[in-house]
Structure 1
């Protein structure tokens, strides 16, 4: 979802400003706000580049998520390996703490396909000295994009403190690159631009050495550290035990910088802090370790000298800290700086024991509430050694009153704006309700209606269907804004549909269905009488030709009545308007099963089952649908299809008892696992081998081959609708739509059908055609899910409207359609099979028989 720059961000900045004097340190986990490339808070004149291909690919078009000009910044020449000549530069005008960067390539609606596979970052705090960022292991190159449209976010670990940032594309071969970028972070309130300190030292413990140096310091490191920032300003506080670290894959003691008194005969460590401008300092907070059992303690005293302009004050501020010999926990020691004015501070930290360890040093200052007029110095020599006995500075209260007045005015203005916006939203919703009623009367095409004939045959079910959908807990309704298009409106905009859309007495969708079918010669079930089983969960799972339905349902139900008292409810798996799905334990169900069916548990053990239950208050149409579904499901007997075991239909509520697999659905199962290989060695997650993954794919193809042989159209094939048993056994089910967990996988359009558009073929979305060929399309998407271990949604880079628009590109067939990319684990032959499932012409897609045979032949 896009991050939006709205009123909350200015209010947050205001609150941060007002609370600056109590903020202890920056929090990298919270400091992750977009700094203004995508939101245009960063002005065009603050974005520059080394070169540009043309005026339409200038630096100002390098904004993440925006498509200005030709879609991105592109350098003038091809980027060559091992060169860092080209860069995109962003100037922020003030120091910022930057924790995250985002990159994107040039897509330009399918016209462009340029992106940076790798890049480096350079940053500057003064505009003259540029520093190359490197991660905690010393690597400078950041992995970038793999296609032109995905947004890739990368955490900067360590974060950087900078006024200007450069993105520099890196390649391993000569190639054209284009970039769109964003920076994420927050303002650096400390104002610290560098600290100079002695190099950290190594502690030799009895069992191992502990390295306590500043490993990410970005200044010069020779005998001391100069003109840089590092671990003392990275926002990470060390743990109580300094031999441990909050950062993974680094050495022990990483979080601390430490010194031993043996190296400092004067008894103190001197650190000098340089700031961006003269500030009025209130406190300094130093995070110290205090493991006194290892002779480590916080400092006992600090003496701080302050510099204004070029002169250092002669007398220091002295702060004495109490020595703690009881509590070994790390802590912040707060030093009162007594509102000293300075652009630099030099502090001498005195040892309290053999070792002194710091992990963070932060400053609280007020740059807006001081003036540069100093009070006359006290007469006589300065003799005080306490914070309160220093030369004091005069602060002008008039500026304070003006600032407070301005802040109050800003708050009133913001409140007024919020009230106006809320009122407009309420008014817009009222208008929207009226317009929606008018639209519902006028719209003649719906994604849930296959044809005029189908709609006529199912008028008796329309009331139940609309009632179910409008009250579904997973409902997603999009506003009728000017940038929103319903699929029916999209159809009318396609040139091939324009004429039909204008003809009176018919709809574009209904007329084009027959004409398109004639063009590609593919019969589909919308041309004949269809029986659509509504299902208690509202899933519309199976679409069956009426003749097949009559043949199957004309027989007696081949399942027995099961005593309700033997069902023990465990948990609810999902629900719809007229029914629920529960996970239950069934005692003695083995006695009710045919001999050819066996369970993997002992006869005296209860069996986990899924129970579809129709609510007692369901209407007549829902009850008839439920009984039809029982008749059909009782005839499905395949190793890879969920089997109906028994029913409870002698009394309400009507129940259908089906198998349940102990490992749950395939989506959740794979998302908890990692692919077997090198990557799995660094993770504790369980693994699945590629051969087992291919076997699961083959089982799904086998189950769909069985359904297609009966002319069944599933219409919702996905990993969420496949269950996993022992030894990676897969069985196809239909529970996914009823579960709130998967509500985002379904798209609801203005009170009409709830559809899994990311798994649907283009003809199903635009024409309402649901065939075995459209199930083949969904099978290809399901395989893609499995090979990515269900770590993301299909077309995750597109929102729902863009997914629908992409189906228009499939219809036009002008080679601008977007396909799901080849997963990393996917071999070329399998990806070719997936691409064949997504062919534009449905009769050119392979059948499930062909897919299953090819998968069997490819297995070792």
Structure 2
């Protein structure tokens, strides 16, 4: 399940343009030669040795840079042109002069940038104040980086040196940004209007960075709706520096339209299979501004074609209580086209947008799949692929193979489901309490019957339809724990029905958090692993499978954290390899770092017994990506369990101190990590979680803070992140007692208190998001803890109002 989610994340054909400006700063390939020599041209050059192919940042090839021929005059337009072959979202430009191993001293003191999306129509970049000139270099060697605000969406870039007096200039360049997966080439909208209301400041809601043709209607360009900047709740305020009120929004007044709607047309680079559209809207209803009441969209594949008659859209749920701006999602139902026409209907006097993005996939694959049911005319297919005819036959062959593979997978899935239904001994029944959304809080207090008590709040969620239990139903264990015999398992089954909180087991749905899971009090007040009751019952009959470690060989180095019943320490030990009887090739005298969970001596008998149970369970977890129990100290107090600790600490701290690897980070010796490294670590997490899921273990706190990093980017999953004071802000405290990692929890875990392997998969997805954003912020960082909880209700309702990470 975890590997499947990872593969879907990396290999899916869907793409989205939700650009995050803070991380869309990857070098596009001048330094590392991803951009080829033949894709770099120039208007002129002094000599062959100063040609455009030598204009690569931080390289000393040829005579050290590109140098246009002759003295550059103030009126001259000499340019270095870079062809990127596809659309990129460009946020940063780096420039450098000619050093030429200390023999050159030429550089450009200023420059401007032209760009094109098709190679024919060229546009000049301007900043927010309308200025074109960018400050360049002050010497021949230092790199100067300039942010492009607003950013550029283009496939061709020209860097044009500018001078006030005749002089010789030379340049080296790098472009930074990320691929423009959205594929949007232009949008057409009515001209924005000016907001004026008594007692309120004037706001100018025009699209001030639009680079197309201007007039009563803007067309053939892109602007503020695709600049990656989300408008604030108060539309008169702005993220930008020295701009006018209303700068981040484009807005229209209801009475200025003829039919009560605003019509926006979008043109894309190729036919696409559209999944959804996200529109960031203002909802300052106290000023007469609301999100749109409804939207409907039409599609077509060619400019000259008529719009398809069948529209798709959404009717929104208006909000008169929360004035926050928000994304509204419009499902596009896998429709295919190169052009989209959307009508947004007013819900109040004003409607304002700050950003629009699309999620889309491979249109050709969609057409091939539809042909299995309703063949299209050959001319339609020819039109879809005529831009790449030499590769069409190979592509179609690959697609046919993929389709056959999908058919086989679907058949296997259906067969597996059929077998599982036949093997089910008890019918499924929806519990009455499952029909109402509620927020369940755990106090993690163990009663006399060893059951976890649950404290519930009184939230305002309305009564809803019964849940789809397919997502929450636990699977059967794929295999037994090591050393767990069949007789022990049978014994566990007999005892299970006696200790189950709900009687009538055959007539109830066995949720992990309600029936067959035992939660143990650990050092931090709760062991985050939720363990099948039959496993606990069987393992408690066995001896601890690790040895007693000499307590005097533990040297405390740092307290990692503490909890209700004890502390977690980072310790250094010697002779651990000899204790574990490792091979002679290991250096037995080298000190090793370990994590030590230490139970306080004055804890209750219940906590003490749970600690020993935890030791017995964790000692049987044997997997290269799960933290291993190395030894124990249980002959006298305080009781201790000794686990592995990795050299590079936890993954959150490891990634947050690094940047994505590029020639810039390499040249400046900045700690970095490559996308390949991230993928390798993600697969290790998936492997470890798959192992836990095969044992029906539910981790319940998977996050980067609970993954430890070793040498060469090796990684192991741990479970003591909650005890660290460093991450106290990642947990939501309930009545001063329980703590929940709500930003990593699936909605059914927060609302219903149900933890399953499926909810662990949700946490794995959030962990992937953390990793690929280098842990620079919390999930849902724009929301408070209470808003995160409210947002889970929107996930359940699925009416397009939920806030994504």
**TM-score when normalising by structure 1:** 0.42
Query: Rg: which structure is higher?
Result: 1
- Looking at both structures, which has the greater relative contact order when contacts are Cα pairs under 8 Å and sequence separation is at least 6? 2
